[in-house]
Chains A and B, each alone.
Chain A
């Protein structure tokens, strides 16, 4: 069964994934919005940079993040000058790393949803007297709802499942940075396959249920239009 350290790793992972998902939705939405609406030359380079974590090995990401966050790195110097110390081997260091690593998984579905939405519903809302924030809440959120749910679920699941970045910048500190995937690695290294099964099986079931929910949300193609 699950030991105390297993439960604490699960709780830590849930905290991390929830925090990261919240941060990702807040910063991913304006980025996706900008990508969907801009005609700027910068669109392609920015889109490419955001998509980098899709192709880079997580350890490469983790290595550079480690350098940036270290006391000598520019991010490390910034956090130190703000009195927060170095982020390396801390929970918030993991949050920063995970946000960057999971960004494309949130931006991409949001971008697709906002692109599909187009300008027209917003123009319509404006002609009916809705201001910018009102338009976002009353038109964008409900009309792009499934895009937001997909983005949140993918961001959450991807953060739960990451390993390389966590190991590089977080290490293996109980109740601070030891998340499920790291603990699982420990179990396997210690040849404790029984406990490894509990964690792995749990993640398999969790992932299946999450994806089942996502596909359940998607509109069936048979939604017919009356003409």
Chain B
């Protein structure tokens, strides 16, 4: 059988899978191609099928119908199904998955010994340093903290020298502080890794910090796919736990004003000012601007306390069916914005598509 597909790099997936019946029936039906580099987030509420997709890629679960190609190499097609241990994957599970009978080093070497390629110690030392686990090597897993275990597990997955790294909510079992501790390690991985990463998560902040692209899943179906900024700027995709929508802007820190403790971030052709943080000039950042934090005025209120006032044009007005508000779609330069306004205000300001307004951004959250 010819197991190489003619086309391209990346991960070419088609999975159809039915499970259960009646009320708890679940059907997965996806057909996507994921990029062959960078971090792609599989994002969605629990029960949307993101972990199932990851398990199908790994061969831990078998979709009844479908195929799976990585960089043209076939892992599943028709009757062909490559067993998990023959797939060049690294897999990080949600909870601690270290073997309890092996030390941290024994765990790291377990995959290395059975490794598909790399047996050299240099790779081992590099990863131990990158994940900062050198002092933990001799210890048994039950003596490690949750964050330490996950760092060992991530290093272990990478030591098999995989062609793709699959991560199933690797931080979900950790408390907020430990998550914040481990995120920098994942960020440093992003710049070091040469293989694509599929990152399953339902935490928007993790996705915003780590991912380059995103696939949104709902009830076993792909509802959106694209760059993180594009996907999450859609008015249909909630950006926080309250279900608020908004947009994501990507920009560069262009200057820091030490007198007022502010930094200037240039997003496309728009300048915004935000409280200075540890970010350096020249650093790329992402910021999240929720629709409820944006208001609209007909003139530039220079007497306002709001710093970020941007000229914008109304491109769409969407009535809410449940609330007395409308969602105003705005274009500020090349950037888009969403603003929640009461229906009364929209009427009062005589807003219509094409209106030229000033968008006032009350606050924005920076990630990355």
Q: Would B100 and A129 count as touching, CB distance under 8 A?
A: no
Which among A120, A121, A129, A130 has the highest number of chain B CB atoms within 10 Å? A129
Tell whether B114 is near chain A: CB-to-CB under 8 Å.
yes
Across the interface, which residues of A come within 8 angstroms of B91, CB to CB? 124, 127
Nearest chain B CB to A211's CB is how many angstroms away? 25
B-contacting 9-mer, from A35-43, A64-72, A137-145: A137-145
Summed over the interface, the residue pairs from A and B with CB atoms below 8 Å come to a total of 62
A-contacting 9-mer, from B138-146, B222-230, B295-303, B351-359: B138-146
Q: Would B101 and A223 count as touching, CB distance under 8 A?
A: no
Q: Would A225 and B114 count as touching, CB distance under 8 A?
A: no
Q: Would A128 and B160 count as touching, CB distance under 8 A?
A: yes
Across the interface, which residues of A come within 8 angstroms of B114, CB to CB? 128-130, 134
Q: Would B97 and A124 count as touching, CB distance under 8 A?
A: yes
Q: Would A123 and B60 count as touching, CB distance under 8 A?
A: yes
Tell whether A191 is near chain B: CB-to-CB under 8 Å.
no
Of the candidates A121, A129, A143, A226, the one whose C-beta lies within 8 Å of that of B111 is A129
Tell whether A227 is near chain B: CB-to-CB under 8 Å.
yes
**Given A123-B60, A127-B90, A129-B115, do A227 and B145 touch, yes or no (CB 8 Å)?**
yes
Q: Would B93 and A225 count as touching, CB distance under 8 A?
A: no
Provide the B40-59 mask, 1 if CB < 8 A to any CB of A, else 0. Answer: 00000000000000000011
A223 to B141, CA, bound (A): 13
Q: Would A126 and B84 count as touching, CB distance under 8 A?
A: yes
Across the interface, which residues of B come within 8 angstroms of A134, CB to CB? 85, 114
Tell whether A131 is near chain B: CB-to-CB under 8 Å.
yes
Across the interface, which residues of B come within 8 angstroms of A226, CB to CB? 142-145
From residue 43 to 74 of chain A, which have CB atoms closer than 8 A to chain B?
Answer: none
Tell whether B110 is near chain A: CB-to-CB under 8 Å.
yes
Tell whether B89 is near chain A: CB-to-CB under 8 Å.
yes
Q: Would B60 and A130 count as touching, CB distance under 8 A?
A: no
Tell whether B156 is near chain A: CB-to-CB under 8 Å.
yes
Q: Would A143 and B99 count as touching, CB distance under 8 A?
A: yes
A223 to B143, CA, bound (A): 10
Across the interface, which residues of B come within 8 angstroms of A135, CB to CB? 85
Q: Would B142 and A143 count as touching, CB distance under 8 A?
A: no
Nearest chain B CB to A130's CB is how many angstroms away? 6
Q: Would B101 and A130 count as touching, CB distance under 8 A?
A: no
Tell whether B211 is near chain A: CB-to-CB under 8 Å.
no
**Could you list 7 examples of A-B contacts with CB < 8 Å?**
A123-B84, A124-B97, A127-B91, A130-B85, A131-B85, A138-B110, A143-B99
